[in-house]
Amino acid sequence: MENQGSVTSALKRLIAYVSSYTTGCQYCQAHAIRAAERYGASEDQLDHIWEFASHPAFTPAERAALDFAVAASSVPNAVDENIANQLRQHWDEGEIVEIAGVTALFGYLNRWNDSMGTTLENGAKESGEKYLKEHGWNGGKHIR
């Protein structure tokens, strides 16, 4: 998750969010959106994360990374030639490894926290309520 290459810490957290949203882990969604906020994602990006494919707050490179994260987080995996080509248009091999690494890490974290029903901490709950609630986020089994 360190900032290496052109993949910023904020974008890595947005990747973590869309990966978590795709798998349905509300615990990781709240933590990822809070971390994106803390690591410098713009308010516009946080408010419009569901519209990343078309909203002007996101660059074509960010869209390609987020599209990849959604496809790679889907079961079965939905990364196709078009998604891979879009990613390669904007990112070099090292950066693609970083993007895939974040997606893979959150594949593990999503499954762990959702399976274990990890209790959501207050700070992450606050960010979930601020940015995600109007789009159906409620903390689910992670709120006790």
| Phi, psi values for residue 7, rounded to 5° | -85, 105
Query: For residue 30, what is the domain's CATH number?
Result: 1.20.1290.10
For residue 1, tell me if it sits in a domain: no
| Phi, psi values for residue 81, rounded to 5° | -60, -40
State the average pLDDT over residues 57-64: 98
For residue 2, tell me if it sits in a domain: no
Mean pLDDT of the chain: 95
Count of domains observed in the chain: 1
Domain of 34? Answer: 9-142
Q: What is the pTM of this model?
A: 0.95
What CA–CA distance (Å, rounded) separates 19 from 1? 14
For residue 3, tell me if it sits in a domain: no
Instruction: Say what the pLDDT of residue 82 is.
Output: 98
What CA–CA distance (Å, rounded) separates 6 from 99? 10
Instruction: Say what the pLDDT of residue 116 is.
Output: 97
